[in-house]
Structures are given as C-alpha cells and as structure tokens.
Amino acid sequence: MTEVRIVTDCAASAESAFRYVNDYRNLSRFLYGIQSFTPVGAQTEGVGATFDGHMKLGPASLRSRVEVNRWEPDAAIGITSIKGFDVASTFLFHPKGAERCTIDAIVDYRVPGGLAGRALGKTIEPFVKIAVKHTTDNLITQITEFHAGSAPDAREA
C-alpha cells in the first residue's frame, strides 16, 4: 500500500472539524478529483454507513464502494473499500483548545499487481501529490469557514 498523510493545524474546534468532514455532502467540496460520493442505503454516518465513490486522478477513473469502519464522535472517522479501487482512509481530530485542532488524515491505497497495476500506479502518482496539496488547502479553508459560521457568536448575530 502507498500511504499519503496530511497533518495540519486548523482554526476550528475538533468538534467543528469532525462535523464538517462527517457530512458526506461536503466531501465533493474539499476532496480533489472526486466526481461523486453517494450513500448506499439510508445510513449516512457511523460504523456501517456505505458509499459509492468515483474519483478522477489525471487520466485514471477510479471507483470504490467504501464502508465506515471507525466512527468516534469529534475524534475519528475511518473508511475502507469493500469493492473496487483498494483504499482506506482515516481522519483524526485532535483538540488544541476551543478554537484550534490538528487534523491528521491518512490515506492508504493499493494498485492491482502486474503490468496494469504498475502502469496505473505510475499514472496516478503525480496526481496524488497534487490532490493531497489541493485537498489540504480546501479542507482547512472550508472547516475554518464552517466553524466561523457555526460559532455561537455567529449564530447570535
């Protein structure tokens, strides 16, 4: 597996960051290359929630069905693929006070073996690096804006 890890501070509480990432509808706003991410069934959060995802990285079109396998309110969300492109990811939210947190995002992916798998790996590698940079920038900006809009002072205004 290839691991991509993002560890960054954010001007939002761990609770706000968790709420933003936990809403599957936000994924297409911050995850670079995502084409679609739709629930399979009525459950949209918590362990057992399942989603079909489609991502485009350069010329490669990747599809997976993923299932939430870790869900700890305000602390962690983990998913793993159960069909399609082999991916596992975890978002960890570490509080650093009421207005700051550290987000630790880990994405592991595996390309199939053989010539086709090696070719796919070489094709998507540069795009994965671009995706990580854009995803990090988008995620931090959007969580900060979400937190500012959901802060008690903002709701009272």
| Main-chain dihedrals φ then ψ at residue 87, nearest 5 degrees | -145, 145
Give me the sheet containing 50-57, strands edge to edge: 2-10, 101-110, 86-95, 76-84, 60-72, 50-57, 34-39
C-alpha angle 25/37/126, rounded to 5°? 110
Contact 90, 70 (CB under 8 A): yes
pLDDT (0 to 100) of residue 1: 62
pLDDT (0 to 100) of residue 151: 52
pTM of the model: 0.84
Give, for 13, the enclosing helix (H) or strand (E): none
DSSP code, position 129: H
* Mean pLDDT (the chain, rounded): 87
Low-confidence ranges of the chain (pLDDT < 70): 1, 126, 150-157
pLDDT (0 to 100) of residue 3: 76
**Domains identified in the chain and CATH numbers:** 2-152 (3.30.530.20)
Q: Which residue has the tokens 């790996």?
A: 121
pLDDT (0 to 100) of residue 103: 94
Contact 103, 8 (CB under 8 A): yes
